[in-house]
């Protein structure tokens, strides 16, 4: 069975600092991996996704993530945090079969300090 | 395009009452999903549909029923609401998956449900 673990339910960084949100997955077969962002009182929006084309994936708003099979990780990074990045971030995994059911991590709330 | 819309945005129910949440999408997507979001637990799949007239159970289906009579609509029903069903409910849709790929799911804004 697939599962996703996000390390750290809350992460706080200063504006301009590096953002690193951690995600580890377990899957018996090569998975598809996603990062979604949820701004307050809104639905989820796709940041980026890994579908085996390239291990370093670039997304919207300056975010990127690297798929590391040996570490079963898909950590999300952004070189310089902006106040508008404050949100909750979810990592998700799918086997891509049939209806592509997503299994989500617990979420990480990112706070940006001025 | 409105994308994925959900009705209502917020609802308060008493234990034992019933209600239906409506999800509509105008992107002609084949797949639709209902999730619930609870603090510290991420999103969990309740039910999903791979096409008009079809539904299937997800991870946490108990206490919920669904119907997909029209391709653009996916209804989530609570026959007898319980306090444990207090949650935020999200609907999502996605197109048919291309071979060797995984399609993005598009989410609605959510319905906040409080069961007293």
CA A74 to chain centre: 7
Q: Mean pLDDT in runs of 10 for chain B (116 residues)?
A: 91 96 95 93 93 93 96 96 96 81 85 96
Count other Cβ atoms within 10 Å, centred on residue A69.
10
Which of A52, A101, A107 comes nearest B58 by C-beta?
Answer: A101
| Closest alpha carbon within chain A to B35 | A102
Q: What is the enclosing helix (H) or strand (E) of B107?
A: strand B106-107
Q: Which residues of A touch B103 (CB under 8 A)?
A: 100
- The size of chain A, in residues, is 114
Least confident interval from A24-38, A81-95, B10-24: A24-38
Residue B88 is predicted with a pLDDT of 95
Report chain A's C-alpha Rg in angstroms.
14
- State how far the alpha carbon of A52 is from the alpha carbons of A57, A113, B87, B96, in Å: 10, 35, 34, 18
pLDDT at residue A55, rounded to an integer: 87
The shortest CB-CB distance from B45 to any of A51, A96, A101 is to: A101
- The answer for A110, left when phi > 0, alpha when psi is -120 to 50, beta otherwise, is beta
Instruction: Please enumerate in sequence order all residues whose Cβ is within 8 A of that of B46, keeping only pairs 6 or more positions apart, or say none.
Output: B34, B35, B36, B58, B59, B60, B61, B64, B66, B76, B89
């Amino acid at each position: 069975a697939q599962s996703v673990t996000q390390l750290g339910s809350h992460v706080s960084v200063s504006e301009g600092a590096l953002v690193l949100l951690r995600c580890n997955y377990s899957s018996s077969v090569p998975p598809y991996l996603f990062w979604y962002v949820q701004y307050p009182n809104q639905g989820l929006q796709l940041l980026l996704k890994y579908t085996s084309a390239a291990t370093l994936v670039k997304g919207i708003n300056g975010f990127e993530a690297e798929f590391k099979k040996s570490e079963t990780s898909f950590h999300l990074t952004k070189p310089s945090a902006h106040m508008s990045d404050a949100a909750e971030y979810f990592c998700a995994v799918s086997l891509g079969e049939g209806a592509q059911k997503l299994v989500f991590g617990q979420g990480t709330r990112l706070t940006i300090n001025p | 395009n409105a994308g994925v819309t959900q009705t209502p945005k917020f609802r308060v129910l008493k234990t034992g009452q019933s209600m239906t949440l409506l999800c509509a999408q105008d992107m002609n997507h084949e797949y639709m999903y209902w999730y619930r979001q609870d603090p510290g637990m991420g999103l969990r799949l309740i039910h999903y549909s791979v096409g008009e007239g079809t539904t299937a159970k997800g991870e946490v289906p108990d206490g919920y029923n669904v119907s997909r009579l029209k391709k653009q609509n996916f209804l989530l029903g609570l026959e007898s609401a319980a306090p444990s069903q207090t949650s935020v409910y999200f609907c999502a849709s996605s197109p048919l998956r291309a071979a060797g790929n995984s399609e993005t799911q598009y989410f609605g804004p959510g319905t906040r449900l409080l069961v007293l």
